């Protein structure tokens, strides 16, 4: 495995693990603001940072056509606006265990859509790794309790959760198409801009000036975390990973999100450490290890075909 491939894997691991901070930040931010307002502040702040950065880094990006604007709008609607609306509604109405469990199926749905629409090859190693990592996520989310899993029942709110999963899968797959022409910086910037526009109605609906007056520094730092680390840095890195590895293989790293959220809960919220976390974490690591094919021996300096498809504009 070449050094550059290791950098890609580490980049994706960092990006998806940092999404775990959103669970902690969201907990603090939503104590002050309505979840919809938090979503708007997240992408509004990200857009303020991304747009000038994009202009400095890429002053002459490829010409944007009407079709491109449409694809950017799809990214903003699916990955930024609707995903957050569905996710926040679900976390308010559904048990955390159910919300996290359904979201954990994202990599599998992304792999299916990538194989269907993008004709990405899904290997046996990827399937085995995805199953192993998903088992690890289920163990972490269920806290090792089979009884809690069996107690779950289908409810109308599950449709909202399914909507969140579908939206993120669409964001990942359509993003691969956009990355054939635009860099991860340009793609992420316009996705966040459109997402901010789509979130304006919900922000206006839930606006309360008193919330801003009583906002604590912890709440503002939480919003800053979701805007800078979770939305700007991590989204760009995630899209770079998709561009280099494909949507299916990059999606396996999403399993680091619940693992990092659990670790951060122990560190920041002082939750106790249990054996199930170690078992689930090991399964996630083994699943990613198998799925990425790190163990596969290559002759010479062979580079996977997906790497050769890298858009030259991605730095």
Token pair for 75: 């990214």
Sequence-ordered list of residues with C-beta below 8 angstroms from that of 306, at least 6 positions apart, any chain: 120, 244, 245, 246, 249
pTM reported for the whole predicted model: 0.77
Q: Which residue's entry shows tokens 């940092």? A: 18
Q: Please tell me the distance from the alpha carbon of residue 179 to that of residue 148, in angstroms, as a whole number.
A: 41
At residue 135 the predicted structure's pLDDT band, cuts being 50, 70 and 90, is: confident
**What is the per-residue pLDDT across 256-271, written as a single tens digit (0 to 9) for each?**
877 787 777 777 767 6
| CA dihedral of residues 148, 149, 155, 156 (deg, nearest 10) | 110
Residue 3 has pLDDT above 70, yes or no: no
**What is the per-residue pLDDT across 44-69, written as a single tens digit (0 to 9) for each?**
999 999 999 999 999 899 999 999 99
273 DSSP assignment = P
C-beta separation of 28 from 218 below 8 A:
yes
**What is the per-residue pLDDT across 224-250, written as a single tens digit (0 to 9) for each?**
999 999 999 999 999 999 988 888 888
pLDDT of amino acid 307:
32
């Amino acid at each position: 495995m070449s050094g550059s491939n290791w950098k890609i894997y580490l980049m994706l691991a960092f990006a998806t693990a940092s999404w775990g901070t959103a669970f902690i930040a969201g907990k603090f931010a939503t104590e002050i603001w309505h979840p919809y307002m938090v979503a708007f502040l997240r992408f509004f702040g990200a857009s303020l940072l991304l747009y000038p950065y994009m202009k400095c880094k890429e002053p002459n990006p490829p010409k944007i056509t009407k079709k491109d604007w449409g694809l950017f709008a799809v990214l903003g609607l699916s990955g930024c606006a609707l995903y957050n609306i569905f996710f926040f509604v679900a976390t308010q109405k559904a048990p955390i265990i159910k919300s996290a469990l359904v979201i954990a199926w994202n990599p599998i749905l992304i792999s299916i859509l990538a194989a269907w629409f993008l004709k990405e090859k899904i290997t046996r190693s990827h399937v085995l790794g995805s199953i192993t990592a998903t088992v690890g996520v289920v163990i972490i989310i269920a806290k090792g309790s089979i009884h809690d899993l069996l107690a779950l029942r289908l409810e109308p709110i599950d449709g909202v959760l399914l909507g969140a999963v579908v939206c993120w899968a669409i964001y990942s797959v359509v993003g691969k198409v956009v990355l054939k022409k635009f860099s991860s910086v340009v793609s992420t910037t316009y996705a966040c801009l459109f997402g901010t526009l789509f979130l304006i109605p919900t922000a206006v609906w839930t606006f309360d000036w008193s919330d801003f007056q009583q906002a604590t520094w912890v709440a503002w730092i939480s919003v800053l975390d979701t805007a800078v680390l979770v939305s700007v840095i991590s989204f760009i890195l995630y899209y770079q990973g998709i561009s280099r590895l494909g949507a299916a293989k990059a999606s396996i790293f999403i399993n680091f999100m619940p693992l990092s959220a659990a670790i951060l809960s122990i560190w920041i919220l002082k939750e106790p450490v249990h054996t199930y976390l170690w078992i689930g974490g090991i399964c996630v690591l083994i699943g990613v290890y198998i799925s990425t094919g790190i163990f596969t021996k290559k002759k010479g300096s062979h580079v996977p075909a997906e790497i050769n498809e890298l858009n030259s504009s991605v730095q």
